[in-house]
Amino acid sequence: MEMFLGFMVLLACLFLGIKHGGIGLAVISGIGLMAYTFLFGYKPGSPPIGVMLTIMAVVTCAGFLQTSGGLTVMLKYAERFLRNNPKHITILAPVTTWLLTVLCGTGHVVYTMFPIIYDISIKENIRPERPMAVSSIASQMGISASPVSVAVVSIVGFMAAAGYTYSLLQILAVSIPATLIGVIAAALMSYRRGKDLADDKEFQEMIKDPEQKKYVYGENESLQGKELPSSYYHATIIFLVGILCIAVLGNFPDLLPHFADAKGKMQAISMTTVIQMVMLFVSSIILFVCHTKAKEVGNSQVFRAGIVALVSVYGVAWMADTYFANHMAVLKTFLGAAVTEYPWAYALVLFLTSKLVNSQGAAVAIVMPIALNVGMDPVMVLSFIPACYGYFFLPTYPSDLACIGFDRSGTTKIGRFVLNHSFMLPGLTGVFTACVAGFIIAHILY
């Protein structure tokens, strides 16, 4: 009975917290912590300090990238690529937004791409919903394939804490191809989705009004033809070299410094520590080489979004650890058997948790430590990494709402029954296909 009541407290805090966003979710977790400690008598768990410090370093570096103009360079080349291949926008746009997220570690880069994708599709008489909805989905799927995202950094940290020696590159060797396959599957599903604009009576009726037609087919701002300062390009190169260094060091641990552990055995420093050091070092190089104004980093969109994710992971993970650690013996008995016999149940729980907390990093922080502690095969955990993206299920996430706003044709929308929105089919297709691909790839590799 006590275990059930404790679980109800956990769910109540999650449901109450999601109404107030990431920071709201974190502070409302304090209610659960107080209840567990002072009412239930649970020993307080431990927040994932190593994971949080790594997130902080990565978010800081991403903030320097945006403030220095390095992100603008990436967006400029992405736009050039799409405008040079307009007829295949439904396939190429989501692949592009996925890649931008992989490089930058945040799906928020997609906001700048939406008007570009819309402009190209409407001028090609392609239904804008087709490339735009799947591009929004793809930008979020890229999070679990990025070496500098909160979710992947968390996975590295929790794997290391559980005693598994999977390197960053080994994790990405599963998540990168799996999510890319999922994105392509979702794009193919969207290729002929919905009515062509010429056959859409609602759209044709709307553009009979000259003012509406001008609004629908109006020009969008473009980065093409704009001269960018050389410092912008320098920042991009420095950032990409930093990511490459992390990948190399993660795959060749002999290159890392080794120190004696408590038993006197020489051990390489952990990859979470390496990521922290490299990201801070890269930030400092961008600061000096590109003459970046450090005071402006805190105001960048990427930095603000990342800090919200950091605080959210802090509160949610601490509360969840307090509850589950005090019932680990029972959970190992029941959940251990369940995830062994029905490993897909882990993917489903991860997917639903992601929707509850609206964050892939927070979902990983809640579900993955439990799975590893109850003895789930780490290869199965790697197989279902793409399942940490489930918040498209209800169209409430900022990128999805922004996508609807940028589609001036009105084809990207929320349906009458809410669940029949533009993001549902590409989202389900992408995540399911990515999980199947991840399962196959993980079992071939490991």
Q: What total of structural domains would you count in the chain?
A: 1
- Its pTM stands at 0.75
Give the pLDDT mean for 280-293: 94
CA-to-CA dists, residue 146 to 107, 226, 331, angstroms = 10, 29, 31
| Between 65 and 308, the higher pLDDT residue | 65
pLDDT at 193 exceeding the cut of 70: yes
What's the confidence (pLDDT) of residue 284? 96
Domain that holds residue 159: 2-445
CA distance 111 to 220: 13
What's the confidence (pLDDT) of residue 50? 74
Instruction: Kindly state the tokens that stand for 338.
Output: 């369940």
Burial 164-199 (b: 16+ CB within 10 A, else e): eebbbbbbbbbbbbbbbbbbbbbbebbeebbeebee
Q: Dump pLDDT digits (tens) for 127-141.
A: 999 999 999 999 999
Among 40-54, 98-112, 272-286, 300-314, the least confident range: 300-314
pLDDT at 179 exceeding the cut of 90: yes
Q: Dump pLDDT digits (tens) for 222-232.
A: 777 788 999 99
